[in-house]
Amino acid sequence: MLGAAATRRPPKYESVLARSETLQFSMNSDVLTGALLRTLARAKPGGSFLELGTGCGLGTCWLLDGMSTGSRLISADIDPRAQAIAREELEPDARLTFVLGDGGEFLERSETRFDLIYADAWPGKYTHLEHALALLKHGGMYVIDDML
Ligand X SMILES: C[S@@+](CC[C@H](N)C(=O)[O-])C[C@H]1O[C@@H](n2cnc3c(N)ncnc32)[C@H](O)[C@@H]1O
Site track for ligand X across 4-23, x = CB under 6 A: --------------------
| Comparison of 51 and 115: residue with beta carbon closer to ligand X | 51
* Residue 14, H or E segment: helix 13-22
Q: How many CB atoms lie within 10 A of CB 113?
A: 14
Interface with ligand X, residue 103, by CB under 6 A: yes
Least gap, CB of 15 to ligand X (angstroms): 14
Q: Which residue is nearest to ligand X (CB)?
A: 59
| Comparison of 48 and 52: residue with beta carbon closer to ligand X | 52
Nearest to 53 by CA among 72, 76, 69, 29: 76
**Of 35, 67, 121, 141, which lies in the binding site for ligand X, with binding defined by CB under 6 A?**
121
* Residue 140, H or E segment: strand 136-143
- The pair phi, psi for residue 16, each rounded to 5°, is -65, -45
Contacts with ligand X in 51-90 (CB under 6 A)? Answer: 51, 53, 55, 58-59, 76-79, 82
E strands within 53-135? 72-77, 96-100, 114-119
Do the Cβ atoms of 49 and 74 come closer than 8 Å? yes
Site track for ligand X across 27-56, x = CB under 6 A: xxx---------------------x-x-x-
Nearest to 76 by CA among 57, 54, 104: 54
| Comparison of 23 and 133: residue with beta carbon closer to ligand X | 23
Return residues touching ligand X (CB under 6 A): 27-29, 51, 53, 55, 58-59, 76-79, 82, 102-104, 120-123
